[in-house]
Structure 1
Amino acid sequence: MFTIEHDFDATVITLIDEGDAPLNEDVVIESHDDGVTLTQVDPDTDEVMVINLSMHQLKELRAALDLPEGVYRVRRAGETDEG
């Protein structure tokens, strides 16, 4: 299950783990103009773990989900090979 909320400066998506135990803590994803922030509480320490992704990293992640094992580069707009 998940929720979507549109705030003034971000879209907030919360992924809620369902199913058989053990369940993972909720993952909160905040999408801003300059990137995405993922947060999740570590159940062992009760600390909030934070991961920041640039929009380019998010684009690479999206591409990686559909590719086989290997090394890849997603080109940025206007980028060319040199040499």
Structure 2
Amino acid sequence: MFTIEHEFDATVITLIDEGSVMLGEDVTISAFEDCVTLQQLDPLNGEPVTVTLSMAQLNDLMAALDLPEGSYRLARSGPRDPD
């Protein structure tokens, strides 16, 4: 199960583990203009742990989900120097 909320500066998705064995803590994903954060409570101390991905890292992750084992470098399209 998941929820989606649109806030002022981010879209927030919360993933809720509904499995019957060893339920994991909810994961909250916040998509901002320049980065995406993933947050989950550490079950040992109850403190939130946050991972921040740049947009380039997020693009790499999306590509990696569809590729076989290996090492890859994606071509980046960006501003070019004028000739």
TM over 0.5: yes
1:18 has 2:15 as partner: no
1:44 has 2:44 as partner: yes
What is the number of residues matched between the two proteins?
A: 79
| TM-score (ref. length: structure 2) | 0.91
Identity %: 62
Once residues 50 and 35 of structure 2 are traced to their aligned partners in structure 1, the CA distance between those partners, rounded to angstroms, is 13
Counterpart amino acid of 1:5?
A: E
Counterpart of 1:4 in structure 2 is: 4
Counterpart amino acid of 1:62?
A: M
Describe the SS at the equivalent of 1:71. Answer: coil
Unaligned runs of 5+ in 2: none
Counterpart of 2:59 in structure 1 is: 59
Q: Runs ≥4 in structure 1, deviation > 4 angstroms? A: none
Counterpart amino acid of 1:61?
A: L
Deviation at 1:21, TM superposition (A): 2.2
Counterpart of 2:77 in structure 1 is: 77
Unaligned runs of 5+ in 1: none
- Measured on the aligned residues, the alpha-carbon RMSD in Å equals 1.2
| TM-score (ref. length: structure 1) | 0.91
Once residues 8 and 75 of structure 1 are traced to their aligned partners in structure 2, the CA distance between those partners, rounded to angstroms, is 32
